[in-house]
Amino acid sequence: MKKKVERYLPYIICSLFFIAYSVLSIIRHNHFLSGYDLGISDQAVWLMSKFKDPLSSSHAYAFTSLFSDHVEIIYALLSPIYWVFDDPRILLVLQAFIIAFSAVPIYLFAQKKKLRFSVKIALLISFLMFYGIQNALWADVHSLVFAAGFLSWFIYFLEVGKTKLTLFTFFLLISCKEDIAMFTFLITAVLYIVQRKKAALVFMGLSLLYLGVLFGIYYPHFTPNGYRFDNEGGLLTNVDLTNMYNTPDKRTVLLTSMAWFGFLPILSPLYLLPAVGDLFHYFVLGNGHVTSAQGMFLHYRVTLAALLAWPTIMTISKYKKLNTVWTALYLLCMALLFQYLLHLPLSYFAKSWFWREPASVANIRLMISYLPADAPVVSQVNITPHINHRELVMTLWPEKKEFSKASLCGKRSCNWFRWAGSPRYLLVDTSTDWDPRYWLTDRDTFIDGIHNLEKAKVIAVDKQQGSAVLYKVLKSP
pLDDT reported for residue 121: 97
Distance of CA 472 to the CA centre of its chain: 34
Can you give the length of the chain in residues? 477
Q: Strand 377-379 vs strand 393-395: parallel, antiparallel, or unpaired?
A: parallel
**Which DSSP category does 79 fall into?**
G
Rounded CA Rg of the chain:
24
Whole-Å CA distances, 143 to 38, 42, 157: 11, 11, 21
Indicate the helix (H) or strand (E) that contains 192.
helix 180-195
pLDDT reported for residue 84: 95
Beta carbons of 157 and 165 less than 8 angstroms apart: yes
pLDDT reported for residue 197: 81
- Interhelix angle 143-160/163-176, nearest 10 degrees: 160
Mean pLDDT split into 10-residue runs, the chain, 477 residues = 79 97 97 92 92 86 84 94 94 97 97 96 98 96 96 96 94 94 96 88 95 91 78 65 88 95 96 95 74 86 97 96 96 96 96 94 96 93 92 92 84 92 95 92 94 94 95 94
Kindly report the pTM of this predicted structure: 0.94
Residue 87, number of CB atoms within 10 A of its CB: 15
Task: Give the DSSP letter string of 48-76.
Answer: HHTT---B-SSSTTTTSBGGGT---THHH
Closest listed residue to residue 461, CA positions, set 477, 450, 447, 448: 450
Residue 166 contacts by C-beta under 8 Å, 6 or more apart in sequence?
A: 154, 157, 158, 199, 203
Report domain extents, the chain.
2-227+301-352, 360-473
Which residue blocks in 57-197 are alpha helix, DSSP H?
A: 74-78, 89-100, 103-112, 117-129, 131-137, 143-160, 163-176, 180-195
Closest listed residue to residue 331, CA positions, set 246, 259, 439: 259
The arrangement of strands across the sheet holding 377-379 comes to 393-395, 377-379, 425-429, 468-473, 459-465
Which residue blocks in 196-294 are alpha helix, DSSP H?
A: 198-213, 219-222, 248-260, 269-283
Residue 288 contacts by C-beta under 8 Å, 6 or more apart in sequence?
A: 231, 232
Query: What percentage of the chain's residues is helix, strand, coil (to nearest 5)?
Result: 60, 10, 30
For 237, half-sphere exposure in the C-beta direction (CA atoms, 13 angstrom radius) is 7
Closest listed residue to residue 265, CA positions, set 247, 245, 279, 286: 279
